[in-house]
Amino acid sequence: MADWISYFDSDHPIYVNARHRQVHAALIAGGISTFVSPGVVVLDYGCGEALHAEELARETGGLILCDAAPHVRANLARRLEKHPRIEVLSPEQAAALPDASLDLIVMHSVAQYLTEGELDATLKLFRRLVKPEGLFVIGDVIGPNVTAATDAIALLRLGARKGFFFAAVGGLIRTLLSGYWQLRQSAGLTRYSEDAMLQKLMRAGFSGKRAAANIGHNQARMTFVTMPV
């Protein structure tokens, strides 16, 4: 995952403009909020910029943001240092949290950047951290038949709905010429069928099902909602 961490810790062109960045953040926060109830303690693992963290935190008893990218994490810590309900942690600090201390763990758009072994280790960690009655939600899982073209079409459709279609076209061209596609070819993305992910979750001690809708705009990808068993 090291190459992907370095990429997302840089000034990358994933967002085509400020409008796209805000729309994306609002969709993710809105998706996560559907699993939140008053007073719960939430870990957003691989949170990225978490632009709507303050709004999400209002619905919780505490929001823990965790990201492996050092600059992303430092920016979060500076922005949110005075917020009474938000804590920013490194993956190592998150791993040191007490057993059964979290009501909800969300890991969105991270599994594809982990090897199968790395995901197994992460799931084992989450099984230890989540409360017996808690939830673990894993989103944006990429299936074997979801191509780069599928992702591009989903972005263009989002741009058409939200008013940044032409910026999305230009952004796709910039991304194509950037290091992203070379990294996608060299480092690759880890893909799972629905059955394969459910089996992996079961081996880690979680039972659940695929959600009716994926968190975010790309409905070709999958979200799974699980509980510890």
Q: What is the mean pLDDT of residues 148-165?
A: 96
Using the structure block, give the residue that is written with the tokens 């823990």: 64
The percentage of residues in the chain with a pLDDT greater than 90, rounded to a whole number, is: 87
pLDDT at 39 over 80: yes
pLDDT at 125 over 80: yes
Q: Which two tokens stand for residue 48?
A: 């990225």
pLDDT at 181 over 80: no
pTM of the model: 0.95
Q: What is the mean pLDDT of residues 14-34?
A: 96
| Domains annotated on the chain, with CATH | 2-228 (3.40.50.150)
Q: Output the pLDDT for position 170.
A: 95
Cβ-proximal residues to 227 (8 Å cutoff; 6+ apart), any chain: 133, 134, 135, 136, 206, 207, 208
Averaged pLDDT of the chain:
95
Strand, helix or coil for residue 109: coil
Q: Output the pLDDT for position 166.
A: 97
Q: Output the pLDDT for position 154.
A: 97
Which tens digits make up the pLDDT trace of 189-205? 999 999 999 999 999 99
Q: Output the pLDDT for position 180.
A: 78
Which tens digits make up the pLDDT trace of 60-110? 999 999 999 999 999 999 999 999 999 999 999 999 999 999 999 999 999
Model confidence at 178, pLDDT cuts 50, 70, 90, reads confident
Q: Output the pLDDT for position 1.
A: 62
Q: Residues 225, 141: contact at Cβ < 8 Å?
A: no
Q: Output the pLDDT for position 185.
A: 78
Task: Identify the weakest region by mean pLDDT among 13-17, 53-57, 130-134, 138-142.
Answer: 13-17
**β-strand 206-210 against 222-228: which pairing, if any?**
antiparallel
